[in-house]
Structure 1
Amino acid sequence: MTTTPLRLLIHGASGRMGQALLRLAADNPALQVVAAVNRRSPAQRVVEGVPHFASSELAGAPQFDVAIDFSLPEGFDPVLALCVERGAGFVSGTTGISEAQRQALIQAAGRIPLVWASNFSLGVAVLDELVERAAAALAGWDCDIVESHHTQKKDAPSGTALTLGAAAEKGGAQPQYASLRAGDIVGEHLVQFTGLGERIELTHRATNRDIFARGALFAASQLPGRAPGSYRVRDLLDGATPPPAV
């Protein structure tokens, strides 16, 4: 039995994540990239069978089922608006978005299924749930989050550390943060709960950046057929109903 491939639009295709998405999607027969969108006009219109478009040509992109966006905040609004207009799913890892753009996500979630995440690693999605559960079970314990990244990473704490901290806060903890920048570390996050005479450490280590692209492709594959809403990656792992859009 043949199934129709999932049609993807990759927004921010010339970036590091965009290139990884194109490479990994090309190896998956269940996925078809129908448009790769870059900020600048492409030198070639079709590269390895994938049509390329400039951001200014976004409205002319062919029909797609899900857009995956790893771009810049200034490119975020048009691709989200196009997904709403066409009723397509939206997966985004674009960081640095404004409060107005976060509100736009909430509004869009009333009409389409979408995922915005600071980290698309499936392991981090599981860690997020474990941190919330541990915080709820260990009332009064100290909670510390230590994140390590390569020397070129400027923001601290990392977006992932803050997301894990939000999970800890939801469970009732008050997390403290520490950041390390060394060598070429892809990303390590340690969440430590300390009580009298004992300590629990929950750790995730990324050794290859492809895990983030694989997670985004997984998220995209899970959106078609779902009700409109704002989903977390962990919701897609266990099939949970997303939280309300408002």
Structure 2
Amino acid sequence: MTVVGVTGATGAMGRAVLETAKERDDVAVAFAVNRDPADGERVAGHAVHDAAALPDLLAEHQPEVVVGFTGPESSSEYAAACAEAGVGFVTGTTGLDDAEQSALREAAESVPVLWATNFSRGVSALRSALVEAVAALPEYDIELTETHHNRKRDAPSGTATTLLDDIDAVRSDADTGQDEESAGQRTYGREGEQPREDGEIGVHVRRAGGIRGEHEIMLAGNDEVLTLAHRAESRGVFAAGALDAAGWLAGRAPGTYEFADVIEGEP
């Protein structure tokens, strides 16, 4: 059994992590924290402590891993606290700037840190299929569309950015004959007269309702269209993946890890 602490406990993903952990027998939640929680607030049966008490809670309960989906600034602070306490850190926070990513790398010098833009096994499979498709169809046009709930802050999503990076990595290794300046260029939406450039990737972001997460990549050329897509039906998908990552990360050497390492490392 892996003992974890949970940050961002009252957020949508924090609640999902706590609810999911409640149904599992391989995870035990030592504590839950959030910034400025309401007096007496509880989530999935756990009292929610003020995040300012995180260092003391880490020292008192000594969890193996902290799991968190929070704002970028908070994620950096929690990573530093975990590094100081010698506790592993799993985070699915997206929208990190260079300084915040650097904070995670700094923490990874002392403890194992696993950062992923998506903890879905389906998205992991999508990434593998996408890499294969882009390599097989180097001259096809590519368009990516992602849709999330109306409260999501970062756009495009962290998952979409990861998929775009995967595409760029494949095409940078391939000789497509495209102009170097236009190849891999990301065009965010279109308006007015905007003819498509060779190698450009169209990126389209939609925010509406309570949609958990949808990503679709279209590859078109040679009078045919190939579409790769993933839709999450519940946040529990991501929560389960994050807890799987925590169990895998516990006891590992300091360093940076990815969710793919979790999947590839399973028997």
Normalization by structure 2: what TM-score?
A: 0.79
Q: Relative to 1, partners in 2 of residues 1:121 and 1:50: Cα closer, same or farther, differing over 3 Å?
A: same
Q: Relative to 1, partners in 2 of residues 1:214 and 1:138: Cα closer, same or farther, differing over 3 Å?
A: same
1:188 aligns with 2:214: yes
Q: Aligned-pair distance for 1:36?
A: 0.4
2:47, 2:148 → 1: CA distance?
Answer: 35
Q: Aligned-pair distance for 1:154?
A: 5.2
Q: Deviations over 1:160-201 (max 9, x none)?
A: 211111111111173321223444432211112223133321
- 1:44-55 equivalence runs, <5 A: 44=40, 50=46, 52-55=48-51
Residue equivalent to 1:231: 257
Looking at CA atoms only, which structure, 1 or 2, has the larger radius of gyration? 2
Contact 2:9 2:43 in 1 (8 A): no
- 1:95-244 equivalence runs, <5 A: 95-153=94-152, 155-172=154-171, 174=184, 175-239=201-265
Letter in 2 for 1:14: T
Q: Aligned-pair distance for 1:152?
A: 4.3
Residue equivalent to 2:191: none
1:23 aligns with 2:49: no
Residue equivalent to 2:52: 56
Q: Percent identity?
A: 40
Equivalent of 1:38 in 24, 34, 51: 34
Instruction: Give the secondary structure class of the aligned counterpart of 1:207.
Output: coil
Residue equivalent to 1:14: 10
Q: Relative to 1, partners in 2 of residues 1:195 and 1:148: Cα closer, same or farther, differing over 3 Å?
A: same
Moved more, 9-18 or 34-43: 34-43
2:49, 2:155 → 1: CA distance?
Answer: 34
Moved more, 73-82 or 204-213: 73-82
1:76 aligns with 2:75: yes
Greater RCO, 1 or 2 (C-alpha within 8 Å, sep 6+): 2
Q: Deviations over 1:55-81 (max 9, x none)?
A: 111111120101011122332233101
Residue equivalent to 2:198: none
Instruction: Give the secondary structure class of the aligned counterpart of 1:171.
Output: helix
Q: Deviations over 1:199-235 (max 9, x none)?
A: 3211101121211111111111111233333222122
Instruction: Give the secondary structure class of the aligned counterpart of 1:185.
Output: coil
Q: Aligned-pair distance for 1:85?
A: 1.9
Equivalent residues, number: 236
Instruction: Give the secondary structure class of the aligned counterpart of 1:172.
Output: helix
Q: Relative to 1, partners in 2 of residues 1:57 and 1:180: Cα closer, same or farther, differing over 3 Å?
A: closer
Normalization by structure 1: what TM-score?
A: 0.85
Contact 2:144 2:203 in 1 (8 A): yes
Letter in 2 for 1:53: H
Contact 1:42 1:54 in 2 (8 A): no
What RMSD, in angstroms, separates the aligned Cα atoms of the two structures? Answer: 2.3
Q: Deviations over 1:14-68 (max 9, x none)?
A: 1111111111111112111001011125623887764542111111112010101
Segments of structure 2 that go 5 or more residues without pairing to the other structure are: 173-183, 185-200
